[in-house]
Amino acid sequence: MPISNSTMQTHTFLTEMYGDDYFPDFLVDKCKQILVSLCEQIESTKPSDNESLLRLTHAAVDSLNQLEAEFEENESEIETAARDALGDEFHAILHAYGFGEVEVDDAIANRDW
């Protein structure tokens, strides 16, 4: 199911990470797919409260956490620049779907990065 939210349809995900050779594009692609999937899940389940939304964001963060070893195998890691970029993406998603009052730190509270 493609993203239908007009803001996220035109959103360019993870520009900073794609622009930095430290992050292999194929791994950034995996991060992007997790974020796109999060948008699709929000659209399909239409969470009615913050708790429902946080279950979705935490599942996405769990998926991102699982990429850490693969980043390390490719002489990279989810470090400061990646943390900032991913945090910005979650912020954009929260706002695009009407959950701007949810703190990004709460949305990504289970991160290992």
**Model confidence pLDDT, tens digit, residues 3-28:** 999 999 999 999 999 999 999 999 99
In a domain, 8, yes or no: no
Distance CA 87, CA 92 (A): 9
List, for residues 48-65, the tens digit of each pLDDT value: 999 999 999 999 999 999
In a domain, 3, yes or no: no
In a domain, 72, yes or no: yes
pTM: 0.96
Domain with 99 in it: 24-107
